[in-house]
Amino acid sequence: MVSRTSRDTAVGQAVVGALMLGCAALGPFPSPVPLLFAIAAVGTANAAFDLMRTFGSALLGGVAVTSIGLAAVPFATCSTERFTDVFSCTGDAPTWHMTGAVLVAGLSGASLVLARIAGTGSVDRRLARIQHDLDALRDRR
């Protein structure tokens, strides 16, 4: 039986995943931000299932940390003449890079919270099932 909480978290995970894929496909973000969005979407899809929740959460955590680490890199590299070929330094590319990296981190964090809520609900359901089985065994005596 699926409880309301697990259904709500699954819908939340689907919305967060769709936002990530939409940002990766349609956003004006320079490389490697769309790749971070795609990896985070894979982590969100994995975190929605009991069997893969740990892997998905680890993937989401890694993407969040990586995106925060990469958020300011274009500003540092574009401020010197030597490293301008590492990231696109034309126009608003550094600003869009930082915006996209922060969005990836935020959406990954939201997905991690939803995965945690779903995991807690799963444990609660298992404990309730065990308690029900124990009560049934006691009633047989």
Give per-residue pLDDT as tens, 9-51.
Answer: 889 999 999 999 999 999 898 888 999 999 999 999 998 887 8
Query: pTM of the entire structure?
Result: 0.80
Query: Exposure string (b/e) for 25-56, b if CB count within 10 Å is 16 or more?
Result: eebebbebbbebbbbbbbbbbbbbeeeebeeb
Give per-residue pLDDT as tens, 42-76.
Answer: 999 998 887 888 888 999 999 999 999 988 888 77
The answer to whether residue 3 scores a pLDDT higher than 70 is no
Give per-residue pLDDT as tens, 115-136.
Answer: 888 877 777 778 888 999 898 8
The answer to whether residue 88 scores a pLDDT higher than 80 is no
Residue 99: helix, strand or coil by DSSP? Answer: helix
Which of 94, 97, 99, 100 is CA-nearest to residue 40?
100
